[in-house]
A and B are shown apart, each in its own frame.
Chain A
Amino acid sequence: MFGIKSDWSLEVKDRYFTLDDYCGVEPRWCTGCGDLGILTAMHKVCREAQLLPEKIVSVSGIGCSSRLPHYMGTYGFHGLHGRALPVACGIKSRRPDLDVWVATGDGDCFSIGAAHWVHALRYNMDITIIVFDNGIYGLTKKQTSPTTPEEYLTNTHPGGSLLPPLNPLTVTLGVTNVSFVAQMVDWNPPLLYETLKAAHDHKGTSFVRIIQRCPVYMEQRSLDLQNDPADLLLLKHDDGIPVPDTVQKMFKNQLEHNPYDLGAAFTVAANTEKIPLGLLYRNPNARRYDEMTRRGLNMTDEERLKGLNEALDKFAV
Chain B
Amino acid sequence: MLNQTDLTTPQPASLSYEFVPGGEAEPLDEHIVEIVSDSGEGAQKCGQLFGAISAQMGNGVWTVEIIPAEIQPPARTPEGASGIRVRVGSRLMTNMGNEADLVIAFNEQVLLSRIAAGAYKEGTIVLLDDMWASDPLEEIREAYASALEYIKSRGLILHEVSIQQECLKVIPDPLKGKNMFVLGMLCHIYNRDPQKGLAEIGKIFRRKKESVIRSNQELFAVGYDYARENVDYHFDIAGKAATDKPMVVMNGNQAIGLGVMASGMELVSMYPITPATSASHFLADDFNLTGGFVHQAEDEIAAIGFAIGASYAGKTACTITSGPGIALKTEMIGLAVMAEIPLVIIDVQRGGPSTGLPTKVEQGDLLASLYGAPGDSPKVILAPATISECFHFVTLARRLAESFRTPVLVLTDANLATGMQPFERPECDAEWFAPPIDQSDWDESVAAFDWHDETGLSARPIPGMRGGEYVLTGLAHNRRSKIAYDMVSNQMGCDMRSRKLAALAQTLISPEIHGDQEGDLLVIGWGSTLGTIEEAVDNLRATGKRVSSLHLRFISPLEPGLHDICTRFKKVMTIEMNYSDDPAASLISKETRRYAQLAQVLRAHTLLDIDCWSVVQGQPLQPGNVTAIIKERIDAIAGAK
Contacts and interface: CB of A to CB of B under 8 A. Distances in A.
Interface of A: 24-25, 52-55, 57, 59, 62, 69-70, 72-80, 83, 85-95, 97-98, 115-116, 118-119, 292-299, 301-305, 307-317
A312 B1 CA distance: 13
A159 B56 CA distance: 75
B308 A78 contact: no
A91 B313 contact: yes
Given A83-B332, A305-B428, A310 B293 contact: no
B291 A91 contact: no
Nearest to B431: A301
Contacts of B469: 53-54, 73-76
Contact of B425 (A54, A296, A304, A316): A316
B430 A301 contact: yes
A55 B463 contact: yes
Given A93-B267, A297-B266, A312-B248, A78 B474 contact: yes
B407 interface: no
Interface residues of B, number: 73
A299 B471 contact: no
A222 B210 CA distance: 71
A292 B472 contact: no
A20 to B, nearest CB: 13
Interface stretch (B69-77, B187-195, B296-304): B296-304
Given A90-B306, A98-B463, A292 B430 contact: no
A244 to B, nearest CB: 31
Contacts of B301: 83, 86
Contact of A317 (B7, B52, B262, B289): B52
A77 B306 contact: no
Interface string B273-303: 0000000000000101111110101110111
B433 interface: yes
Interface in B434-489: 461, 463-475, 482-483
B422 to A, nearest CB: 6
A90 B308 contact: yes
Contacts of B433: 301, 304-305
Nearest to A70: B471
B430 A304 contact: yes
B293 A293 contact: yes
A16 to B, nearest CB: 14
Nearest to A314: B7
Contact of B463 (A89, A95, A316): A95
B317 A76 contact: no
B425 A79 contact: no
B299 A87 contact: no
B307 interface: yes
Contacts of B471: 24, 69-70, 72, 75-78
Nearest to B254: A315
A75 B298 contact: no
Q: What are the 8 A-B residue pairs with the smallest beta carbon separation, nearest first?
A: A90-B309, A296-B291, A86-B305, A307-B289, A76-B471, A299-B291, A90-B306, A86-B302
Contacts, number: 214
Nearest to A116: B302
B312 interface: yes
A119 B269 CA distance: 14
Contacts of A92: 309
B610 to A, nearest CB: 37
Contact of B291 (A59, A83, A116, A303): A303
A213 B264 CA distance: 47
Contacts of A59: 309
A90 B310 contact: yes
Interface in B416-430: 422, 425-426, 428-430
A98 B313 contact: yes
B464 A97 contact: yes
A114 B323 CA distance: 24
A299 B288 CA distance: 10
Contact of B295 (A78, A293, A303, A313): A293
A73 B429 CA distance: 40
A306 to B, nearest CB: 8
A93 B422 CA distance: 35
Contact of A115 (B293, B302, B475): B302
A55 B465 CA distance: 8
B100 interface: no
Of A25, A91, A310, which is in contact with the most chain B CB atoms at under 10 Å from its CB? A91
Nearest to B429: A305
26 contacts: A24-B471, A54-B466, A54-B468, A76-B472, A78-B473, A80-B474, A83-B331, A86-B304, A87-B309, A90-B295, A90-B306, A90-B308, A94-B293, A98-B313, A116-B298, A119-B297, A299-B291, A301-B433, A304-B264, A307-B288, A307-B290, A308-B262, A311-B289, A312-B258, A313-B7, A317-B422
Contacts of A311: 258, 261, 286, 289-290
A313 B266 contact: no
A73 B466 CA distance: 12
Contact of A316 (B247, B302, B482): B247
A17 B474 CA distance: 29
Nearest to A304: B290
B55 interface: yes
Given A312-B428, A315-B248, A316-B3, A54 B467 contact: yes
Given A54-B469, A305-B428, A311-B258, A87 B306 contact: yes
A179 to B, nearest CB: 18
B103 interface: no
A94 B434 CA distance: 14
A94 B306 CA distance: 11
B249 interface: yes
Nearest to A87: B309
Given A87-B312, A315-B249, A54 B269 contact: no
A312 B290 contact: no
Nearest to A95: B313
B391 to A, nearest CB: 9
Nearest to A303: B291
Nearest to A68: B471
